[in-house]
Structure 1
Amino acid sequence: MKKLYCMNCGTEIKGGIPNKCSCGAEFDLADTKKHKKIITSIIFFVILMSPLIILIHFGRQYLQASIILYALLLILGIFWYRIVQTILVRLGLVTMTNIEIK
């Protein structure tokens, strides 16, 4: 996968994408006008989020019985969403402001 760099200071972004860099540059989703790129990114998003949906489907009975498992799955869902967002940015399907992909 490609590496991500801050456009202002040039530091490499490792791991998940933070909300802003140490230099003060904020990272946010950029608008895109290409319909093909939007459709492709939505398809990849659905494919990458499907393991979580399958886990919810097969664990419904246990999730209804235990609030702790429900809370843990909610935390896992938020964490997995951030991972999927990072993957889509590294693949170049989702563009973000102040991030350079090399």
Structure 2
Amino acid sequence: MWLIGIGVLFGLVLLRFASICAKASPAGLFVRNIVATHRYEWSQIVSVSYSEALGDSWATLSLSDGTTSAVMAIQAADGPRAREATDRLRILVDEHTPPGGTT
């Protein structure tokens, strides 16, 4: 019985890893990481950072309340694709930020 339980638990953990995502919409950004799921309005996102050179494993959102949040869907292991995805996300944040900064 315990072996079946461990197998089910392992399967659930793998399913959660497989469901990691970041989806942009006109209303904001939906981010599902391993443990937490968040919906951010564009006005909450101040900037997006990612630097393989600094050892970042994934992209990070800087939020208007002074906190940060990881975007595990954009991982350093993806190489050039991660840089391109981060650049696209930066463009979306810039497009949805009102002139003069965040509100």
Q: Same fold (TM over 0.5)?
A: no
TM-score (normalised: structure 1): 0.28
Q: Greater strand share, 1 or 2?
A: 2
Higher relative contact order (CA 8 A, sep 6+): 1
Q: Greater helix share, 1 or 2?
A: 1
